[in-house]
Structure 1
Amino acid sequence: MGLFGDQGDSVFRNVKRGVAVVAVNAVIAVLLQGVASAATPTVPTGLTATPGNKSVVLSWTASSNVPTDYIIQWSPDAFVSTTHRFFDGVSTATTATVTGLTNGTSYSFRVKGYNGDGTSDATAATAATPYSNHTPNDLAVFDACPASLVPAAGFTDHTSVDIDCVKYYGITKGTTATTYSPVDFVTRWQMALFLTRMAVPAGATLGTGADQGFTDIVGKSTEIQTAINQIKQLGITVGKTATTFAPDDYVTREEMALFISRLLKAVQVGPGGNWEYVSGNSGATEIKSIDTDHNYTDLGTVSLVETQTAIKSLWNLGVTEVTSATLYSPNVNISRLNMAQMMANALDHTNARPAGINIQGSTYSGTGSLEVTVSVTHRTAGFLPVVGSLVDSFKYQHVTTAGYSRFSADGSCAQTVASTVGLTRCYIDATDRATDAYGNIATFVEVVQSATYDLWAWTAASGTVYDDDIHGTDVSKITVISV
């Protein structure tokens, strides 16, 4: 007799049946689970996040297994404790714009594929920071350093045209004859030299450089002490305190904004530069922007209202270069490269223009009917205004007509015609415009319609007839193309 007596065989058979049923059910469950898993969407891939104004555009590669929707999640704390779902309706599109975000706040995003069989795991999180995608509104129309006129600085450690520009105007001499050291920081005594050298071509009148009460600049060279005192006289600096300038401290980016902003207010606006009334809607004017739009998210670290205003103004003037689309980095020391970029951009708004006669257009190419605003300036070799110069301008349309040319074999004007302000082509007389006290003639407009035009400006004594063999080396020319 077995352990269970006569009923042992029956019990054993029932146990075997139970085990078999459990095993079959387990196999079926596994098989069904496998079928469901195969139909669930795979994890989307390649998630990218592009920030915009109070929004972020997401894009990803589609899941496999026919997703019927995507679940979009976002978090302000990298999904540590907070997860939100962005509801954009049912869609199989592989891009979505998450709206309602706060500019300057970093958000993390992830996406899951979904269909009736299940939801995939989430993509790896991708972060982005929305920002105000404004564009500067008060850019200068013309250039202090036209690319065709400003030579390379001769420094072997950079490729920046802005460094070429500040070298052209004598603002920098380089750290050696062949190096500029663009990544080095700028000390306050160096900045004083740069600012005084910038002020003259910009149109400022420097003071005597008499002692302004800074007791910590003793021991610096006479040139340095004079420059520091001169920028105090111009109102560009007030010093660290009433009696200290801290000449060996590095210049921060917020200090740079103040220096440039104050210098611009101390000089005359140049052709095509932006000006506003000092206050109200009449009276004195100064170079600045009163537009407060900008894209920076880190100005909250700037305590002085004047500094915040300066940074916003310079951004709208197109003066500030940026370390990113949203960061100004006000507390970071400014590099020599960034200093050159800001100075070159600021000069565009001032009266700084190349030596000699110079013609510029507001645009040089386009389609249809182009209205080109034209500026003509005259400067000495030291970039000072030449006052009272009679300026003649003329133009020539490019054609394929046989026998047509700009100049005849003897250098005289051939098929050229007078500009809109040149009453007598290729001839200087009293009817021509004369440069004003700032060395400029009033801007004028030329219309170019589906053609290519050359436009010249030149100056000489009244009664002089243009001869390209004689005057061709001193004339200034631009070409405008309309297609």
Structure 2
Amino acid sequence: MKASYSKYVLAATLAATTVAYVAQVPATAAVPFTDLKNVGDHYTAIEELYNSGIITGRTATTFAPYEAATRAELALFIANALHLDTKNVKDPGFTDVPKNSTYYGAIAALYNAGIIGGYKDKTFKPNDYVKRSQVAKMLVLAFDLELANTTTTKFTDVNSIQDMDTRRYIQTLVQYNITKGTSTTTFSPNDSVKRAQLATFLKRAIDYTQSDFDIINVE
């Protein structure tokens, strides 16, 4: 199910949130992580989202850019990006997400908004690595991206997926240029997403949503 707000309302929220963060953090603020020397283009996304309070490191001085992101981390980052209320939440009832967990509020908020779901055994599996196909679904729902009409993609390993919605979520990210795949013909839907990659995906999704908001304001 979709979140209960339009992408333009969401964009306005993101815009207001960004202004608030910029007021608190200098644009040139350095990140405290010592392990970002070889992250290439991901550095900009990590720096911007960290200074905006959206993403966090694995420790005070390391980001672990090429370690796999967990489902809990993705939930936290998206909740931060959407500026969701993570305090006043309804318990989603996941047996493996205790209320004293660092990630409880974010997971509950996203579940309440219809952005994430759990497993049939009433677990969320917060420490599992998040798959590329799962990231596609969560970003499409979180940022209310217009879902692709086609289920045929340029990726051979996506076209073989039986679930048509999963195909659409992945194709949507391609159409928004949030991802280009792991090669020209593969997406690797079951592979884990590295934390540096996740930062870039998030920044692109935020940028597109912000762009929509700017267009509406101009018109």
TM-score between the two structures when normalised by the length of structure 2: 0.74
Check 1:206–1:303 CA distance in 2 against 1; reply closer, same or farther (3 A cut): farther
- Larger fraction in strand: 1
1:179 and 1:321 mapped to 2: Cα distance?
27
Determine whether 1:349 maps to 2:124.
Answer: no
Quick check: 171-180 or 229-238, which moved more? 171-180
SS at match of 1:186: coil
- 2:116 alignment counterpart: 237
Question: Unaligned stretches of 5+ in structure 2?
Answer: 1-14, 19-26
Q: How many Å apart are 1:169 and its aligned residue?
A: 2.1
- Are the aligned partners of 1:199 and 1:206 in contact in 2 as well (CA < 8 Å)? no
1:443 and 1:151 mapped to 2: Cα distance?
30
Check 1:178–1:207 CA distance in 2 against 1; reply closer, same or farther (3 A cut): closer
Q: How many Å apart are 1:240 and its aligned residue?
A: 1.5
Larger relative contact order (Cα-Cα within 8 Å, sequence gap ≥ 6): 2
What do the CA deviations read for 1:12-33 (whole angstroms, capped 9, x no partner)?
xxxxxxxxxxxxxxxxxxxxxx
1:154 and 1:327 mapped to 2: Cα distance?
35
2:160 and 2:181 mapped to 1: Cα distance?
16
2:156 and 2:28 mapped to 1: Cα distance?
35
Check 1:301–1:205 CA distance in 2 against 1; reply closer, same or farther (3 A cut): farther
2:61 and 2:96 mapped to 1: Cα distance?
32
* Matching residue's letter, 1:216: D
Q: How many Å apart are 1:307 and its aligned residue?
A: 1.2
- 1:185 alignment counterpart: 68
Q: How many Å apart are 1:155 and its aligned residue?
A: 2.3
In structure 2, which of residues 99, 103, 110 is the aligned counterpart of residue 224 of structure 1?
A: 103
SS at match of 1:221: coil
In structure 2, which of residues 132, 142, 166 is the aligned counterpart of residue 263 of structure 1?
A: 142
- 1:429 alignment counterpart: none
Determine whether 1:302 maps to 2:180.
Answer: no
- Larger fraction in helix: 2
- Are the aligned partners of 1:193 and 1:227 in contact in 2 as well (CA < 8 Å)? yes
- Are the aligned partners of 2:91 and 2:108 in contact in 1 as well (CA < 8 Å)? yes
In structure 1, which of residues 156, 159, 163 is the aligned counterpart of residue 46 of structure 2?
A: 163
Determine whether 1:442 maps to 2:213.
Answer: no
- 2:9 alignment counterpart: none
- Are the aligned partners of 1:289 and 1:316 in contact in 2 as well (CA < 8 Å)? no
What do the CA deviations read for 1:316-357 (whole angstroms, capped 9, x no partner)?
0011253222211001111101111111110012249xxxxx
**Pairing of 1:434-473 with structure 2 (within 5 A):** 442-443=217-218
Task: Tell me which structure has the larger Cα radius of gyration.
Answer: 1
Quick check: 156-165 or 206-215, which moved more? 206-215
2:136 and 2:209 mapped to 1: Cα distance?
16
Q: Percent identity?
A: 30
**Pairing of 1:318-333 with structure 2 (within 5 A):** 318-333=177-192
Check 1:322–1:331 CA distance in 2 against 1; reply closer, same or farther (3 A cut): same
- Are the aligned partners of 1:210 and 1:226 in contact in 2 as well (CA < 8 Å)? no
Q: How many Å apart are 1:257 and its aligned residue?
A: 0.6
